[in-house]
Structure 1
């Protein structure tokens, strides 16, 4: 039996679930899991449906679903297959290590096609795990040239997502547009607090008792893209900046891998500057 994931977002109206399930049944698809959510403020409907069955014509199924949904509905039919990703890094290894170890043991839910870094420190680690590493130096280059070199590498691999695993460079609006909705970042702060550089130093100076990390999609607004996952940990007066950074790195790894798992399983909808996440 084939597995199929059906993702639908559309204006809300009475009878949507009935209409959708009727179409799926007519195509001999068996629903094994279904989650739905209505955003009442915006009158928007979202659903993720996992099905099994012998489906030969996905285009016909999509056409029938759209015929039974409101105008402007979006329907995505996804056959089970691993996503392909490129990972961008600078010097910090902790998030990259989590990704590559899971990739090595086939538990990531995606295939890492390449690692691209603006420094060379992580080359040996990446290549020891069989992942090609590309060093693209940013020094002495215009941002457009630097980003063009990165894009040329990414585009060799036909990736589904670009993961910023502590890539400490601000991407241009043009770069973000080229991979709109496909760039995932881990920010070392519980957004919207402490946006930008040195958030742990900011947190220490503010005397916070909780620090955290946020995984989000990248948009043109720095650290303000739709949030996917967040986690926190408690700190106290015994924590200096160094201790906060150590504690924060553990959260960053957890948050990023949690977000990637949700994305790779097609459980995340973007709605404006928010997300709907079906766990």
Structure 2
């Protein structure tokens, strides 16, 4: 039997689960996993449903669900199983290396269609995996010119998501608006602490006992987009800045990998500046 994935977001009302269950039953779809959540503050209902069945009409199912749910309901049936991603980098390699190794062994859950960097440093490493690398320098250019070249480099690959794997450039509102809730960043800090540059030095100077990393969607507010995954590790007074950086890089890889897995499996919904995650 074929697996069918249904994603729903709509205004909350009484009886939504019953309506959804009845529609799926009429199409001979057996629910094997259903997760739902109501954001009471926003009065929004979210659901992720895995079901099995054969010989149902997807268009008819879409129509019945949309008709039975509140107006403007978002219903997605069987979203693309393998997402396409473009990865933006600067000079640091650890997050990119983790992505490319997972891609090589088919455990990433997505296809890396291209890498773009504002330095040449990671070209030779990238090309060992037979993935196109585009060098787009930011020097002697306006932000608009730089981002225009960047967009021209990655858009022909039609990426579903853009991953900032230590891409140390602040993107303009115009760039972000082009890919709403589709840009994923790894920040080397447990947000909202130590926003911006040099978070490990900030952490060291503050004498913290925990360091962390945060994967989040990018918005116009620096390092304040909806959070997907966070993780912390303990440190103590013996850790200097360099030791914190080494430990932090391991956390960054782990956090970004987990966030990408959740997004690629369609387990993440965005509501306002928060996420709902059905693990």
TM-score normalized by structure 2?
A: 0.97
Alignment of 1:1-279 (within 5 A): 1-54=1-54, 57-79=57-79, 81-279=81-279
Contact 2:160 2:182 in 1 (8 A): yes
Runs (4+) off by over 3 Å: none
SS of the residue 2:61 aligns to: helix
After TM superposition, give the deviation of residue 42 of structure 1 in Å. 2.7
The alignment of Structure 1 onto Structure 2 pairs a total of residues equal to 279
Distance 2:56 2:130 in 1: 36
TM-score normalized by structure 1?
A: 0.97
Contact 1:3 1:79 in 2 (8 A): no
After TM superposition, give the deviation of residue 55 of structure 1 in Å. 5.2
SS of the residue 1:14 aligns to: coil
After TM superposition, give the deviation of residue 162 of structure 1 in Å. 0.3
Distance 1:111 1:247 in 2: 28
After TM superposition, give the deviation of residue 182 of structure 1 in Å. 0.6
Distance 1:113 1:56 in 2: 33
Residue ranges of structure 1 left out of the alignment (5+ in a row): none
Distance 2:79 2:119 in 1: 37
1:111-132 superposed Cα distances (whole Å, 9 cap, x missing partner):
0001101001111111101111
Cα–Cα, structure 1 residues 231 and 71, in superposed 2: closer, same or farther, change >3 Å?
Answer: same
